[in-house]
Structure 1
Amino acid sequence: MIVVALRARSSWHKPAWWATAFGAIAVATYGILWATPVVLDGMLGGRNLLTLVRDAAAVAAVWFFHNAVAAQQRKPEKKLPAWGLGLAVLSFTVPFLLISRPGPTSSAFVLDRLDQFPVWLFSSIYIFIVGALAARAIALLSSEKTVMTRFYVLGLSLMLVGSIIELMYLAATHFGPTNPDFRESLYYVAERPFFGGIFITVLGFLWVYAVRVFWKHLARWTLRIDARHEGGEYLARSLATSSENGWSDRQLAVNSAVNIRDRLKIGTQALSRREHALFSGVEHLLSNHLERTPR
């Protein structure tokens, strides 16, 4: 939540930020410090509305994750509209509001009420939407073969498989003759691949975010060293050129590092011992683009 808040000013317009924000809300519904799910749901009236909030936030997170993938692949026509998200949430909110005796707060809210048709419909629509979004994201990612893409596809595939298993479980439990032991044991079996997939996908998302933050700070550091030789407006001018040309932070770091290296070779730029050690590390990271600077 803290990271989301800190990044709001610069990233609120990006789908990835919204995916992170809604994901954080969904996770927060499981408890924040003293605010346990019972406390949080009690603040909403003790009618298990926290379950609805959690599911709505989860759908929004996967929705914006899908759009973040579409944006990253430069396929704006594949983005899903915001009004579609509203309809998706509304589609399972209506049956939730028709549930008889929704309270008191319970961690087994769905499991204890699966004999009710609105509970089955609410859960089934929610799971179907998440599975459909996972399938769409997999289709978008299938054209790339990077390690991170495969990591995402693994997580999303587990979510898709978990969604199918859970839909089958919900139908069998609601419409078929089942005993309490069957309900409870299979319920948690059905959830394992689903939540395992979410865990893997979130790890991948956090890794990508951390890498981007790292390269952004590294690019700004090399640019500041580079600008030291060129004058006051050079930093702003370089950032503007980078934005116009669509350079990544890695490309910006390469450009600045090349300039620094050339000046070090001819002796027109000096670095402190600490800066020289850091710059050697930068060169090592960019070794595919640069020759190491001689000491």
Structure 2
Amino acid sequence: MVTLQTVAFAVLCLVAVLRVGSARSNPHARMSWLASVVGALALLTLGSVIPLGVLDGALGGTNLIYLVQNLLATTAFWLVLQAAASQESEDTPHSRRRYWVLGVILVAFSVAFLFIDRGPTSPTFIHDNVDQLAAVLCASIYLAGIGGISLQLMLAVRRRRLVAYWPFVVGGALAIVACINEIVWLFIAHAHAVDARTQALGYALFDPFFYLGVILIVAGILSFTVRKWNRETQMTLAIRQLSRITQRAGLTSATAEDGPATGGPQLSVAYDLLISIHDETVAGRVQLTARERRVLSRAEALVTRELGMAEAR
């Protein structure tokens, strides 16, 4: 399904571009950026952007591009798992970074690939060679790996209370369904258990499930970038408005004087400013205007929401 492949490729490229800045400054954002780059390269090998004949031709024209595609796609899914598990968390989930598991999957289907008697470039390479057990095993190991990583992805975010994690759960589920479907139909084809038309219908179920799953997962990563920008913008505005109140009142809060750049994380800065203003107001040393009370109320709601989100992570 070229349309879905192209959409998925475009979304991945968009995420890669938007997260360049975050990847430079935030180590926790580098996994999602790297996942989007590797994922885009994997989709590029499908031929929806650059003709498959050109890509595989550069590698000798013996369907070696299929192996490259599988290596990139598996690595991309694994990176997505790392990115999703560490999103908006101060601690990198080292326990999930089992590089040897990724290595075993990559080596396993690569070895099976070497035993396939390959012909000239074909977009349906595995389906064309389904009579060969090596081809069925190569594709099945690859798909089982993708399905297993997708399951880990769902388990990694299932306890998160943030609504933003639902694309990972739904996307992972769709990818698992697609992988199971393809594996089943590959073995059915290998056994010649059904006619060609039924077999084609079975194969056709893979693309809608798989690429919609990919799009949802990538959209989930993109949503964190958008949400982060939105929260930072709101918090910056709140800090600026609260600082004006402290300046007008002549408060000598170190946080207010130093500003967000040196006063610590934005949430801490806003919290300190709120406490300072509240204490002075309760003590009767500061009288707030109606507008300032509205500013204070909005800032309190924002800080309360951010604290709640921090607890939900």
Structure 1 and Structure 2 fold alike (TM over 0.5): yes
Tell me the TM-score range normalised by the shorter chain.
0.7 to 0.9
From 228, 234, 237, give the equivalent of 1:212: 228
1:64 and 2:97 aligned:
no
Contact 2:59–2:65, Cα closer than 8 Å, also in 1: yes
* Count of residue correspondences: 271
Q: Report the AA paired with residue 134 of structure 1.
A: S
User: After superposition, what is the alpha-carbon deviation per residue over 1:189-215, rounded to whole angstroms, capped at 9, x for unaligned?
Assistant: 244323222222222222122212333
Residues in 2 aligned to 1:225 and 1:98: alpha-carbon distance in whole angstroms: 67
Q: Identify unmatched segments of 5+ residues in structure 1.
A: 243-248, 269-275, 291-295
Contact 1:226–1:256, Cα closer than 8 Å, also in 2: no
**SS class of match (1:286):** helix
From 193, 199, 203, give the equivalent of 1:177: 193
User: After superposition, what is the alpha-carbon deviation per residue over 1:131-157, rounded to whole angstroms, capped at 9, x for unaligned?
Assistant: 111112222222234322333212211
From 71, 77, 89, give the equivalent of 2:106: 89
**SS class of match (2:205):** helix
Residues in 2 aligned to 1:68 and 1:12: alpha-carbon distance in whole angstroms: 11
User: After superposition, what is the alpha-carbon deviation per residue over 1:153-186, rounded to whole angstroms, capped at 9, x for unaligned?
Assistant: 1221121222222221111111343433233221
Residues in 2 aligned to 1:81 and 1:15: alpha-carbon distance in whole angstroms: 14
Residues in 2 aligned to 1:6 and 1:30: alpha-carbon distance in whole angstroms: 28
* RMSD of aligned Cα (Å): 3.9
Identity rate of aligned residues, in percent?
25
Change (3 A) 1:201 1:261: farther
User: After superposition, what is the alpha-carbon deviation per residue over 1:259-289, rounded to whole angstroms, capped at 9, x for unaligned?
Assistant: 9988xx9699xxxxxxx9xx89x85983866
Residues in 2 aligned to 1:227 and 1:36: alpha-carbon distance in whole angstroms: 57
Q: Work out which structure has the larger RCO, using CA pairs closer than 8 Å and 6 or more positions apart in sequence.
A: 2
Alignment correspondent of 1:238: 263
Contact 1:22–1:57, Cα closer than 8 Å, also in 2: yes
User: After superposition, what is the alpha-carbon deviation per residue over 1:195-237, rounded to whole angstroms, capped at 9, x for unaligned?
Assistant: 2222222222221222123334554566577789679864432
TM-score, structure 2 length as denominator? 0.69
Alignment correspondent of 1:164: 180
Residues in 1 aligned to 2:233 and 2:48: alpha-carbon distance in whole angstroms: 30
TM-score, structure 1 length as denominator? 0.73
Residues in 1 aligned to 2:84 and 2:259: alpha-carbon distance in whole angstroms: 33
Q: Identify unmatched segments of 5+ residues in structure 2.
A: 1-15, 248-253, 307-313
Change (3 A) 1:144 1:42: same
1:37 and 2:52 aligned:
yes
Residues in 2 aligned to 1:4 and 1:289: alpha-carbon distance in whole angstroms: 24
Q: Report the AA paired with residue 88 of structure 1.
A: I
Alignment correspondent of 1:120: 136
